[in-house]
Structure 1
C-alpha cells in the first residue's frame, strides 16, 4: 500500500468536513451569521435557557469561546441573558423573538448545504452514511456506539418533524 493510501480516509473525511463548513458558512454569512453562531442558536432552539457552561459542554468548545459568541449574538439582538433564580452569578441564555425568527434561516442554510453534500446518494446510502458518521464520532469521542446512536435517532426524529412541518 502506498504511503498516501494509508491516510486517504482521514484526508477525505477532513476534506468533506472542511468543504461542508465552507459551504454552510457562506450561506450563513448571507443571513449575518458567522461560523459557530449557528450551533449556539440551534442548541438554544432545542434547549432554551442553558448556561454558557452547559452550551460549551454540549458543543464541545471552551467556555471563553462560548462567552464571546454569546456576547456577539446578544449584541445582534438574537439572545438574552437572565440571571438564575437560584444563583444570581449564573446566567441562563435564551433566544429572543428575533433569534427564534433567525432559526428558520439557519435551518434553511443547513438543509441546503446538506442537500448539496448528499446529492446523488439515495435514502439508503444517506442512512448508512449517517450511521457510519455516528460510529466515527463515537470512536473519536470515546463514547459507545449506543451513546452515538442517541443523537442520530434524535436527528432522524428532527428531520421527520421538519418534513412534516414543510408539507
Structure 2
C-alpha cells in the first residue's frame, strides 16, 4: 500500500460513521429525539427494565451519560424509573406507552438512514459490507478469534 494511502480506510470509516450519525440525528430530531436517546430507547425495546448500569454497559458509555439521557427521556415522558424490588438503591428503567409508540418512529428513522447510506449498492454488496464491518468491529473490540485478511502481510 502506498504511503499516501495509509490510514485512508480508517479515515473513510470515521467519515461514514460521522455522516451517518448526522443524517440519523436530523431524522430523529423530527420526532423529538436527540443524538444518543435512540440507542437507550432501542435497548429498552429489546429488553425493558434494565438498570442504568446495564444500559451503560450495553451501549459502551459511562453511567453518568446514561443517567443524564434517561432523565431527559423521563422528562419527555418516554421512560419511567421504578425502584428495584430487590435493592432499594437500584432503579430499573421502563418504556412508557408513549415510549413504546416512539420506537416505531426511531426504527423508521434508522431504516431511512440506512437506505440513504446504502443507495446504489446491490444486495450482494450490502451483504459484503455488513460482513466487513462486523469483522472491523470484532478487530477493534479486541476479539482474538477474528481472522486476518490473507494478504495482510503484503501491505508493507
TM-score by length of 2: 0.90
Structure 1, gaps ≥5 residues long: 147-167
Deviates further, 19-28 or 1-10:
1-10
* Mean Cα deviation higher: 116-125 or 137-146: 137-146
- The structure 1 segments of at least 4 consecutive aligned residues displaced by more than 4 Å after TM superposition are none
- 1:21 & 1:88 partners in 2: Cα distance? 37
TM-aligned CA deviation for residue 3 of structure 1:
3.6
| Alignment TM-score, normalising by the size of structure 1 | 0.84
Over residues 48-97 of structure 1, what are the superposed CA-to-partner deviations in whole Å (9 max), with x where a residue is unaligned? 00000000000000000000000000000000000110101110000000
User: Higher helix fraction: Structure 1 or Structure 2?
Assistant: 1
Per the alignment, residue 58 of structure 1 pairs with 58
Larger RCO (alpha carbons 8 Å, 6+ apart): 2
**Structure 2 alignment gaps of length 5 or more:** 147-156
Q: Which has the larger radius of gyration?
A: 2
Cross-structure match for 1:94: 94
Written as runs of structure 1 = structure 2, the 5 A alignment for 1:13-92 is 13-92=13-92
How many residues are matched? 146
Q: Tell whether the 8 Å contact from 1:135 to 1:145 is kept in structure 2 after alignment.
A: no
Over the aligned positions, Cα root-mean-square deviation in angstroms equals 1.2
